[in-house]
Structure 1
Amino acid sequence: MTGRWRVRISALAVSLVAASTALVASDAATAAPPHPTAVLAAEYEAAPCVVEIPVERRERVTCGYLTVPERRDDDADPERTLRLPVTVIQTGARDAEDDPVVIPVSRDAGGGMASVVTHVLEDAAWATRDRDVIIVEQRGGVFAEPTLVCDELSLERTIVDGRLATAAERQPQRLAAIQACRDRLTEAGVDPSAYTTAASAADLADLRAAMRLDAWNVAGIGDGSRVALTLLRDHPEGLRTVVLDSVEPPQVDRLTLAPDALTASITALLAQCGADRECGDRYPDLQASLDTVLANAEAAPLEITVKSPVDRAPLVVSLDDEDVMRALRAALADTSIVPVLPFVIDRLAAGDTAAALPVAQRLIDEADAELDGARLSRVCAEELPFTIDETTEETAENAGAALSAHMPTLEALREECAVWEVPAAAAVEAQPVEGTVPTLLLSGADDPIAPPEWAETAANGLSAASAHVFPSLAHAPLWTTDDSCVTFITMQFLADPGADNDTSCPSRMTSTVFLTTADVQPTSALYRLAVDVAEDHRLGQIIVLVLTLGMLFVTFVYGCAYGMRWLARRRGRAPEGAVLSATVAAGFDLAFAGGILWLLSTGDPLVLAFGIPAAAWPLLLLPFAALASTAVLIAVLVRAWRGGDGTFAHRVFLSVSAIATVAFTVWLLARGLLFL
């Protein structure tokens, strides 16, 4: 089936659908033309993949580019085209279905081409069990040509003397950078107003025509769900099913309701911790702890030293209360991080900012998502013009109103949109989508970005919709977790969307198991060690570690051999007691190093990111025992050198061993691994 996708194909116009125009209330915006529906010209050609494909998977993957017009208006310049990368992951089924699953991605929608391809290949075998999966990057994306990624907004430009400017400090610079990016793009002939959701939906329709797909299934993730819904509205031809994971329907005033969604997610976290016996006992007033963290951050920004994503050098990040809320929103959206959030909140309230290091590092590493000019084109045209200026009545009255006081306002976005300067979209882009295509809506119960209520809102206009909420899961449960219930329901739906499928498994899902100080000894030492040695491959750290451990291993072997000879002869040529002390010290240090290596290779990554498993506390005693033995060794050697005890060679070797033990102890102390 996929062989024909490797051939260059042209698709011509098949129909024109009239659309009503509308003016939208906006301070300085003019209504844009109606949504495009005509396919003017599109072609698909094979090309090398834009993301790295593992060697063992390459026989299943083909790639190419879809070329589409930048605009589809009657007076559009036919020479202005875009190239969108496409990755096709083939099914291994012998009797493959001929209706592939197509996923439009962007950094706002599912994390981008690289992460979705990796997930499908490595963690979502169910997706390609019966049919191919086609992943297409939306216009303006990282690998698209042209890309609307604004390098002018890169994190590197806001780092001064190893410190990242705060959000408030960065805003004036950010506005200037947005202007510079827009100027650069327009000078190159790029029209920022052409990068809309409706245009992306038309691109997908072009893809179907170019690949000659009679039937297809479209899956939208997060922001990509708007593309899928718009496709359902504008180009329903051939659509067999639609899967919406964490849907963001156009009629929802997302920008205004975002504080409500985050507040509800935080409230759910606090309630779940209170209902959990261990979490509730350890953190009896988590709300007060969170209030303390926010108040402290508002009074004086929290400072955390992370690794710069630019050069991996130390980078001091200052987080005010709004930054903390942004970080909390990102963490709550990640189901894998939620179990540790009560622990982090409690440690931050106690002044231990290092406890938030793994979360802060992830946010910094993903900060380049803010470079996405395509996101500005969509939000500034399709969402901000339809946003209510005033805070919603629900937000003002709900129990989390105090939390809302720490959340960012829309003022910064308004300033950015004024600079980006794209016209407001037609009113239809903020209206409910209606359709009869079977649609599956999946929501995480604790999603702070797209709460389940939004799925219910989207389903109102879809006559063949089925919505499911999954307890203890957050954003994009289908594509960010390996939960068997989510995949089971999705697989049933794709196999037979009209059947009365078994959808009872959400009621059997277990609640979140929280990580507390009963499970982990708080320290960021193991996390920093793994980053420095395993990820950054810091040569100095590796050399010290290899040399000291190598010498300790030689000492241990030497001591064992010497001991066996001493037992045979009852005499030896080394200073009395020195070999035993050196061997014991080396043994304890090697046992500690081996224990740490075993933890890093077999332990729970979540636990290790925030500390050492509580059950492993005896391991922490080993370097102190080694230090005590080293102290005895040093005393014996001082006496030996003064009195000439033992041979010169033994004294030299044992002295080098003592130096290695001391060096290893100093290394542990510097790494924060020497503690009780």
Structure 2
Amino acid sequence: MAPHVLPRRSRRTGRRLRAVPAGMAAGLLVTGLLAVPAHGAAGGPAGGAPTGTAARAAGDARYTPGPCPKTPEPIAALKGARCGTLTVPEKRGARGGRMISLGVAVVPAASGRAKPDPVVWFAGGPGDDAVGEAQMAIDGGLNRDRDVIFMSQRGTYSADPVLTCPVIDAFNAHAVGLVYDAPSTGRLHVDATRTCRDQLAAGGADLAAYDSTESAADYADLRLALGLEQWNVFGISYGTDLALIYLRDHPEGIRSVGLDGVLPPSTAGTALTWSSAREGFDGLFRACAEQPACARRYPNLPATFDRLVRQLEARPVTTTVKVPGRAAPVKVVLDGGTLVNWLTSATHLAAGVPRSLDELAHGRPQRIAEQWAGGKVSPQTVGRIAHGLAYGVFCREWVPFESPDDAVRAGREAFPAFPRSVLEQAPQLTFLTADCAAWRVPAAPRSVRDVTRSDVPTLVMSAGFDAQTGARNGPYVARTLSRATVVTIPYVAHVAFAASPCAQEITRSFLDAPTAPRTGCVGGLRPPEFDTGPTT
């Protein structure tokens, strides 16, 4: 969920969805308008979409069938997809403003007999490209008997303009060798953000137009332009924030909404990341404590983790590691802030976490250092994340509505033993207030933080090990969703649908019967077998 951390499905996130381990790289991605498709076919109906070379307008928006959006690497799920572009105003309400293009891919139903209400996928991040997440959706069977629509959010990899910033990606790679939360690191962090901002603005982008409100309007236009009476929305990570704003602002034509890894628009920001981290860490530590072999081998993991954060913050450890794709060893500095952010993503690799912490406690930092560096310096992280969209969301919708002190208080409540220097930099959202001062966009109207009230059937799904969007967010948003089904999938991390067959089964049953999904599989789930390793 943030510009410089790049987890998967969430932007640093998001979350974030690639070849590196889940959660250890972006996700938590120039335009596909003129690109030659590496896969997929142009034309053909997309549900009620126009065929051939016809185009359909929705207000100022226009859909045109054409080549499939470009992706960083081939995506098997897009073979045979029907594709095109949606052209929309960059900023609605601005007379004579420029138009931008968003890549669209429609994966047909596997059954060959698609139901009339397709699924539209809302990507994580902010800044991930939905087209790049298609494989995860299809692997989970989302297209069993419905077409699934993927549209790149404005600014993302297969949109035009594309608001990625390699200068930020390069900083992220360099920063693994810096003290995570040092003021000197913060100055370099903000320098990279400012350079990104200046480059994008020089290219003509109206950076205040890249936010959730405009993205939600893009999806409303897409449904009309495709001629669809109804569709089902499924969002992951930041995509749940966007889905709730879309449901609030454009409720027409929505049959159902699925949320996985819930991020409430009313509370999104730095303070929320601390409570989510606490909840996800505790879920993992508790699962170890309840497994006799893990409990014997690694007693009282929470205390070990807290002690390591304090020790490393006082005396950072420097090491070098080999990273795939890099010939030279990579310098890595582990301090308290690094360890907190490593664990936020490492919950995706839960079975190995206790052993990794134990090795660090006994003077062997390589396992954690390799994982931390691998998600940052890999060439696969470069140029994929739309930092321009991410900062639009952060700096218009989140930062203006909380203070740095709010985040420190939330951190202190969640982790009372942590040093203040750690608490001042929220997980995944490091130096965000200073970044937003450099980004220079106006705050969104306060209404962007309004809760969503709706009687549209909604699946509110969380994960027990989710340290990015904690499971308590689910019941919180469900309070104002009168036909919500709330479920937590235990023993998996951020975005349960990506890793849990049970979550996938529940989602498919929800699409069949939105007010009565089958959730019984949750009762049969078991924790991972934790790696107890050799005796120290």
TM-score, normalised to structure 2, is 0.82
* 2:160 alignment partner in structure 1: 145
SS of aligned partner of 1:383 = helix
Listed one character per residue, the Cα deviations across residues 418-455 of structure 1 (whole Å, up to 9, x for unaligned) are: 01011011111111011121111110022111112111
Residue type of the alignment partner of 2:295? G
For residue 309 of structure 1, report the CA deviation from its aligned partner.
7.7
CA distance in 1, matches of 2:437, 2:149: 36
Q: Match of 2:62?
A: 42
The one-letter code of the counterpart of 1:278 is A
Q: How far apart are the structure 1 equivalents of 2:449 and 2:331?
A: 41
- The answer to whether the 8 Å contact 1:240/1:437 transfers is yes
User: Is residue 446–residue 472 contact of structure 1 (8 Å, CA) maintained in 2?
Assistant: yes
CA offset at residue 234 of structure 1?
Answer: 1.4
Q: Partner of 1:423 in structure 2?
A: 442
Alignment length (residue pairs): 481
Max radius of gyration: which structure? 1
Aligned to 1:37: none
Match of 1:436 among 436, 451, 455: 455
Any gaps of 5 or more consecutive residues in structure 2?
1-44
Q: Determine the structure 1 residue equivalent to 2:85.
A: 65
| Deviation for aligned residue 1:310 | 7.7
Q: Which amino acid aligns with 1:351?
A: G
Note the 1:393-412 alignment, pairs <5 A. 395=410, 398=413, 400-403=415-418, 405=420, 406-409=422-425, 412=431
State the distance in 2 between where 1:396 and 1:432 align: 24
CA distance in structure 1 between the partners assigned to 2:402 and 2:51 by the alignment: 42
Instruction: Describe the shift of the 1:133–1:268 C-alpha distance in structure 2 as closer, same or farther (beyond 3 A).
Output: same
- SS for the counterpart of 2:142 is helix
1:290 Cα shift? 1.8
Taking the aligned partners of 2:305 and 2:105, their CA distance within structure 1 comes to 43
Of structures 1 and 2, the one scoring higher in RCO (CA 8 A, sep 6+) is 2
Q: Deviations over 1:536-579 (max 9, x none)?
A: xxxxxxxxxxxxxxxxxxxxxxxxxxxxxxxxxxxxxxxxxxxx
Match of 1:338 in 2: 350
Going from structure 1 to structure 2, the CA distance change for 1:488 and 1:223 (only over 3 Å counts) comes to same
1:9 is matched by which residue type in structure 2? Answer: A
Once residues 158 and 487 of structure 1 are traced to their aligned partners in structure 2, the CA distance between those partners, rounded to angstroms, is 34
1:64 match: secondary structure:
strand
- Looking at structure 1, the residues matched to 322 and 373 of structure 2 have their Cα atoms a distance apart, in angstroms, of 7
Gaps of at least 5 residues in structure 1 are 14-39, 523-676
In the alignment, structure 1 residue 248 sits paired with structure 2 residue 263 = yes
Inter-CA distance 94–514: structure 2 relative to 1 (3 Å threshold): same
Check the 8 A contact 1:83/1:146 in 2, yes or no. Answer: yes
Q: Give the whole-Å Cα distance in 1 for the aligned partners of 2:76 and 2:124.
A: 26
Q: Distance in 1 between matches of 2:185 and 2:385?
A: 12
1:458 — aligned with what?
Answer: 477
Superposed displacement of residue 202, structure 1: 0.5
The 8 Å contact of residues 120 and 234 in structure 2, kept in 1 or not, is answered as yes
Aligned sequence identity (%): 30
Deviation at 1:189, TM superposition (A): 1.7
Verify the 8 A CA contact 1:50 1:143 in the aligned structure 2: yes
Instruction: Describe the superposition over 1:37-68 as per-residue Cα deviations: whole angstroms up to 9, x where unpaired.
Output: xxx33333311331277697665323322211
Matched, 1:327 2:346: no
User: Do the aligned residues in 2 keep the contact of 1:44 with 1:207 (CA within 8 Å)?
Assistant: no
> Residue 177 of structure 2 is aligned with which of 156, 164, 167?
164
Aligned partner of 1:164: which letter? G
CA contact (8 A) 1:222 1:450 kept: yes
Q: Does 1:87 align with 2:111?
A: no
* 1:559 counterpart residue number: none
Q: Deviations over 1:264-322 (max 9, x none)?
A: 22223222212210001111232343234223321332234345688553211212211
* 1:636-651 correspondence runs (5 A): none
Write out per-residue CA displacement over residues 513-546 of structure 1, whole angstroms, 9 at most, x where no aligned residue.
211115xx99xxxxxxxxxxxxxxxxxxxxxxxx
- In structure 2, relative to structure 1, the CA distance for the partners of 1:248 and 1:282 (3 Å cut) is same
Q: Which residue of 2 aligns with 1:536?
A: none
SS of match in other structure, 2:487? strand
- Could you tell me how far 1:190 is from its partner in structure 2? 0.8
Counterpart of 2:95, as a letter, is A
Which secondary structure does the structure 1 equivalent of 2:462 belong to? strand
User: How far 1:210 sits from its partner (Å)?
Assistant: 1.6
Amino acid in the other structure paired with 2:530 = F
RMSD over aligned Cα, in angstroms? 2.8
The 1-side partners of 2:411 and 2:185 are apart by 29
| SS of the residue 1:42 aligns to | strand
Is the Cα–Cα contact under 8 Å of residues 325 and 407 in structure 1 kept in the other structure?
no
**Aligned residue for 2:224?**
209
- C-alpha spacing 1:54/1:322, structure 2 compared with 1 (3 Å): closer
Alignment of 1:363 with 2:375, yes or no, is yes
Which 10-residue stretch deviates more, 258-267 or 375-384? 258-267
* Mapped partners of 2:486, 2:173: distance in 1: 43
Structure 2: distance between partners of 1:55 and 1:70 = 28
Corresponding residue for residue 6 of structure 2: none
Matched letter for residue 443 of structure 2: A
CA distance in 2, matches of 1:343, 1:372: 34
Q: Identify if the C-alpha distance between structure 1 residues 404 and 213 changes in structure 2 by more than 3 Å, giving closer, same or farther.
A: farther
1:202-281 aligned at under 5 Å gives the runs 202-281=217-296
Cα–Cα, structure 1 residues 288 and 249, in superposed 2: closer, same or farther, change >3 Å?
closer
Contact 2:404 2:433 in 1 (8 A): no
The answer for the alignment partner of 1:376 in structure 2 is 391
CA–CA separation in structure 2 for the residues paired with 1:206 and 1:399: 41
